[in-house]
């Protein structure tokens, strides 16, 4: 059974954590640039422009420069939003961060429906084999003895490890 003191302590801990959210969001930022490296923009999590850099060659873009700056600023804003959610998730946890996303109506860019989920391990291995000009690697045999361990680690490919994030 939870005591009144424990409930009060939990409420205070949540209050302190929520107070830190504002501080974390204030430190979040995002930077984006175009493919040609002519425009680079940094914004904070609220969308405030922190830095705008234009290469001298950007003047040659003419009327395309304005829309390009807007597009790069939007990409930087998505990066800043994700940075803010990442920092909040470390403090409050994934579930609470998801609840904040639902309440604000601003989902984390990494959860976007059109976000590229990346490639599978199998696809990575196939492309790697094509680049190296060899046949796809077979799965290594499990280590059955101590003598086999050195041989196993000599052939171990860290790219075979799966990461969802």
Q: Are residues 47 and 98 in the same domain?
A: yes
What local confidence, expressed as pLDDT, does residue 127 receive?
A: 82
Q: Are residues 70 and 149 in the same domain?
A: no
**27-65 pLDDT tens trace:** 999 999 998 899 999 999 888 999 999 999 999 999 999
How far is CA 9 from each of CA 4, 25, 89, 130, rounded to the nearest angstrom? 9, 25, 21, 58
Give ∠ CA 67-71-74 in degrees, rounded to 5.
140
Confidence check: pLDDT of 17 > 60: yes
Q: Are residues 104 and 38 in the same domain?
A: yes
Domain count, the chain: 2
- Write out the DSSP string of 6-68: HHHHHHHHHHHHHHHHHHHHHH-EEEEE-TTSSEEEEEETT--EEEEEE-GGGGGGGGGHHHH
In a domain, 165, yes or no: no
Q: Are residues 98 and 155 in the same domain?
A: no
What local confidence, expressed as pLDDT, does residue 24 receive?
A: 83
Query: What is the value of pTM for the model shown?
Result: 0.60
Lowest mean pLDDT among 79-83, 119-123, 150-154: 150-154
Give residue 24's domain range. Answer: 4-111
């Amino acid at each position: 059974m939870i005591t009144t003191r424990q409930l009060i302590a939990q409420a205070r801990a949540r209050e302190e954590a929520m107070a830190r959210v504002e501080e974390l969001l204030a430190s979040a930022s995002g930077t984006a640039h175009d493919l040609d490296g002519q425009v680079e923009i940094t914004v904070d999590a609220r969308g405030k422009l922190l830095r705008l850099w234009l290469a001298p060659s950007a003047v040659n873009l003419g009327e395309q420069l304005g829309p390009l700056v807007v597009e790069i600023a939007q990409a930087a804003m998505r990066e800043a939003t994700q940075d803010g959610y990442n920092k909040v998730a470390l403090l409050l946890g994934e579930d609470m961060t998801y609840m904040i996303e639902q309440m604000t109506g601003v989902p984390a860019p990494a959860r976007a429906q059109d976000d590229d989920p990346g490639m599978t391990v199998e696809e990575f291995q196939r492309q790697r084999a094509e680049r190296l000009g060899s046949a796809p690697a077979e799965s290594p045999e499990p280590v059955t003895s101590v003598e086999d361990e050195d041989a196993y680690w000599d052939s171990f490919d860290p790219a075979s490890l799966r990461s969802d994030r």
